[in-house]
A and B are shown apart, each in its own frame.
Chain A
Amino acid sequence: MNTPVPYGTPSHDVGAREPGAEPLAGRQVALIDLLDRLLAGGVVLTGDLTLCIADVELVRVSLRALITSVEAAMPAALPD
């Protein structure tokens, strides 16, 4: 099965290709389209450590996970 070439991938980024890898075909992705997806899309990974999680042993830690967007910075505080 042919998979479409991921031309969403910019061809000249300070990005993910290994040195020496062949350049990816395609045009530059517009920043505004990227931001529509990266700021308002994508899963949000956060946690409330006080929730009871089955079969996971919670270790007491002092940690901070940071989830932000341009509109609102919402730090998830973790118990000390």
Chain B
Amino acid sequence: MTGSERPEPPPGASSVYTYAVMLPSPGHEARAGGLRGVAGRRVRLVDASGLVVAVSDVPAEEFTEDALKRRLEDLDWLERVARAHNAVVEALSAEAVVLPLRLATVHFDDDSLRVHMAEQRCAFAELLARLDGHVEWGVKVYATGGSEAPPAPGPEAPGAGPGRAYLQRRRQQRRSREGAWEAAAGLGERIDRELAGVVADRRHHRPQSGQLSQGPGQNVVNAAYLVPRDRAEEFRARVEELAAGTAGVRVEVTGPWAPYSFAVPPEPAGSPSAGGAGGAAGESGAPYGGGAVEAGPR
């Protein structure tokens, strides 16, 4: 498929930015009215193939391919758009589950949107049916043990000098870090096992690191769980209980989210991109056949 170069859009032209796909419902009209999203633009609803898409009309020149390439590297811009997008998704989710769209999905106009929707309407309808009544929880497990100050020097072997004592402490530290990593990975697996009866599906995201990640500790497990809405609090409470019983780890539960992570098909287990606790470790015996969520080639 070759790219056809479009001329720069005329000033004042707008493109259609899409947030989410839903089943029609009178509640959605009421909620969408008054909502503002990306670039402060109003949210409106488009009927497409028996489904409804929430959209905004955004400045076309901000959302051309070139403009997007530049802006996606601007964290401030990215943050504003991501938060606005998610806020619209969350507001619409109060009625019933919505299928959130990936960031920066933009169409020339409503007709173009409708054509694309027509092609995927069955897949979307099926997904909506499957996700109905569920929410997503994020569960991140961090290894914190071993990152604290080195333990006080213990009794040394007779005749050991200060150098050897230092090395001994460093080895203890490293073992304790490795132990903490394993404890974190183990907790992830335990959560999967113990909560299999409450959870409908699970995905792994890449462990978080780098500029945007928040400590303390090293993120070992970055999982998303699809949970029935009426068992959501039970799920969270049990995760926190399991975490409290594990030394050297920190657990962060985020959500409830709209089911972003479950709008994507699972990676086949054992593929190089299958995530989990630092590798494919999380996938063996995975009860749902779930895998990593990757922004891979389609």
Assembled-state Cα–Cα distance A53/B48 (Å): 14
Cross-chain contact B111 with A38 (CB below 8 angstroms):
no
Q: Kindly specify which of B92-100, B141-149, B170-178, B179-187 makes contact with the partner chain.
A: B92-100
Residues of B within 8 A of A80 (CB): 4
Which residue of A31, A49, A53 contacts B82 across the interface (Cβ within 8 Å)?
A: A31
Cross-chain contact B105 with A66 (CB below 8 angstroms):
yes
Assembled-state Cα–Cα distance A64/B8 (Å): 12
Cross-chain contact A39 with B103 (CB below 8 angstroms):
yes
- Whether, in the assembled complex, A22 has its beta carbon less than 8 Å from a beta carbon of chain B, the answer is no
Contact-residue bracket for chain B:
35 or more
Cross-chain contact A37 with B90 (CB below 8 angstroms):
no
- Whether, in the assembled complex, B194 has its beta carbon less than 8 Å from a beta carbon of chain A, the answer is no
- Whether, in the assembled complex, B250 has its beta carbon less than 8 Å from a beta carbon of chain A, the answer is no
Using known A-B contacts A43-B99, A61-B112, A69-B102, determine if residue A4 contacts B232 with beta carbons closer than 8 Å.
Answer: yes
Using known A-B contacts A67-B102, A68-B104, determine if residue A40 contacts B264 with beta carbons closer than 8 Å.
Answer: yes
1/0 per residue, CB under 8 A from A, across B133-162: the answer is: 001001000000000000000000000000
Residues of A within 8 A of B119 (CB): 47-48, 51, 53, 56
Cross-chain contact B4 with A68 (CB below 8 angstroms):
no
| Residue of A6, A43, A46 most packed against chain B (CB within 10 A) | A43
Contact-residue bracket for chain A:
35 or more
Residues of A within 8 A of B75 (CB): 31
Q: Which B residues lie at the A interface, using CB under 8 A?
A: 1-4, 6, 18, 21, 34-37, 40, 43, 49, 63-65, 68-69, 72-73, 75, 78-80, 82-88, 90-91, 93-94, 99-109, 111-113, 115-120, 124, 127, 135, 138, 205-206, 208, 212-214, 222, 224, 229-230, 232-233, 254-257, 260-264, 293-298
Using known A-B contacts A34-B83, A34-B86, A41-B261, determine if residue A66 contacts B65 with beta carbons closer than 8 Å.
Answer: yes
Residues of A within 8 A of B115 (CB): 47, 49, 56, 58-59, 61, 63
Residues of A within 8 A of B135 (CB): 4
Cross-chain contact B205 with A40 (CB below 8 angstroms):
yes
Assembled-state Cα–Cα distance A41/B101 (Å): 8
